[in-house]
Amino acid sequence: MSYLILPPNYKASISLKQTEQAIKLLKDFFQQSLAAELRLRRVTAPLFVLAGKGINDNLSGKERPVNFAIKDMQDAHAEIVHSLAKWKRLTLAEYCMEENYGIYTDMNAIRADEELGNMHSLYVDQWDWEMCINDKDRTIHFLKSVVRRIYSALRQTEFILYEQYPNLPPVLPETITFIHSEELLKKYPGMSPKERENAFAKKHKAIFVFGIGGKLSDGSKHDERAPDYDDWTTPNEDGYLGLNGDLIVWNDVLDCSLELSSMGIRVDRKALLKQLEICGCEDRKELYFHQKLLNNDLPLSIGGGIGQSRLCMFLLKKAHIGEIQSSIWPEDMRISCQENGIILI
């Protein structure tokens, strides 16, 4: 069986009918709050893109995109998106967005190589967003300000849900705590990256971990990141590498940390060339997206994704993401969940 956490004596805080109503309330309110906080315009996103253009997100580089041939285009291959990290930046340029304004969209993806469990599904849904910035905004200070605005939208949504469903009391702290992945390594040297996140998130309840993708002082990486969207090599004013990170909360139901969002300041021309070289992906320089970026045809930007089902799972105090979305699960997982009060949709 894939990794499964079974909380003892688990019982959902709200009924199945209430859950469906709460999901709509949550999603409607949060995206409006997010759009207002970051000044984002909603746009329509693709489910699939043409292969070989460099537009699809490569994630860690190991995941296989779901693909199919298009009959009316001489069997040209299309790929179901993994995320819209690069497509959004192309769209910013196409829409001629002004600085400090941006876009958001509903991103739906299929990740066939996902390791299924309480927090991971074959079906991925998130709010993907992207904002135009200028060169002076490419700082940790600016990234922190954006994180705080997103966190404000999270807390507003948590309160709105509590007003409607008293069984869902707020748990998010007033402020989010920032830490760099190198600081986490020094603080918890004998732990794995996930164990460090758990220890720090359990203490502070809501954290943002900077510097995801680059090598740490011991030669390891906190986590993998593709070389061609987030900037994880540019030195920042705190003395560490990286202008990206993950927003993580403590999940009391599962007694572990839960990543809600991955985001960052995007690569400029210099960072792209450096990161492609580090990852041995210099052949990508000839792809459509990368050519646009290298030719300075794309705006500087910051962006990320916020998991819709994950956010619902957290705020509605569910034990499994399958209580929020309809997906495919191993039969032994379904049986174990059923036996332990976890009703998968």
List the catalytic residue out of 31, 262, 301, 308.
262
Find tokens 């990286």 and name the residue.
242
- Beta-strand pair 67-70/206-210: unpaired
- What is the pLDDT at residue 201? 98
Contact 83, 89 (CB under 8 A): no
Per-residue model confidence as pLDDT tens digits over 109-166: 998 888 999 999 999 999 999 999 999 999 999 999 999 999 999 999 999 999 999 9
- What is the pLDDT at residue 60? 66
How big is the chain by its Cα radius of gyration, in Å?
A: 20
Euclidean distance between CA atoms 182 and 342, whole angstroms: 37
Tokens of 240: 């560490």
List the catalytic residue out of 259, 268, 291, 336.
259
Task: State which fold the 16-339 domain adopts.
Answer: BirA Bifunctional Protein; domain 2 (3.30.930)
Q: What is the mean pLDDT of each run of 10 residues along the chain (345 residues)?
A: 85 95 98 98 94 80 85 93 90 96 95 92 95 97 98 98 97 98 96 97 98 94 93 89 97 97 97 96 94 96 97 98 95 95 94
List the catalytic residue out of 196, 246, 261, 275.
246
For residue 127, with 0-12 CB atoms within 10 Å meaning exposed, 13-18 middle and 19 or more buried, which class applies? buried
149 is annotated as an active-site residue: no
126 is annotated as an active-site residue: yes
Helix and strand tally (H, E) in the chain? 9, 11
Angle of CA points 17, 20, 25, to nearest 5°: 125
Contact 319, 118 (CB under 8 A): yes
- What is the pLDDT at residue 1? 45
- Beta-strand pair 76-80/48-50: antiparallel
196 is annotated as an active-site residue: no
Tokens of 128: 């993907």
List the catalytic residue out of 31, 83, 121, 126.
126
* 88: number of Cβ within 10 Å: 26
Q: Domain extents for the chain?
A: 16-339
Find tokens 């948590």 and name the residue.
158
Full-model pTM: 0.94
Residue whose C-alpha is closest to residue 135's, from 267, 332, 294, 333: 267
- Beta-strand pair 40-42/102-110: parallel
- What is the pLDDT at residue 44? 95
Contact 221, 234 (CB under 8 A): no
Q: Which residues, in sequence order, are CB contacts of 207 under 8 Å at separation 6+?
A: 176, 177, 178, 179, 197, 200, 201, 247, 248, 249
* 282: number of Cβ within 10 Å: 13
**Dihedral sign of CA atoms 145, 146, 148, 152 in order:** positive
What dihedral do alpha carbons 288, 230, 205, 157 form, nearest 10°?
-40
Euclidean distance between CA atoms 247 and 176, whole angstroms: 9
- What is the pLDDT at residue 158? 98
List the catalytic residue out of 111, 138, 196, 310.
111
CA 124 from centre of chain:
10
Euclidean distance between CA atoms 334 and 294, whole angstroms: 48
Tokens of 221: 């990486």
Tokens of 195: 């164990």
Euclidean distance between CA atoms 181 and 242, whole angstroms: 10
What dihedral do alpha carbons 313, 315, 317, 320 form, nearest 10°?
10
DSSP code at position 71: G
Euclidean distance between CA atoms 290 and 269, whole angstroms: 9
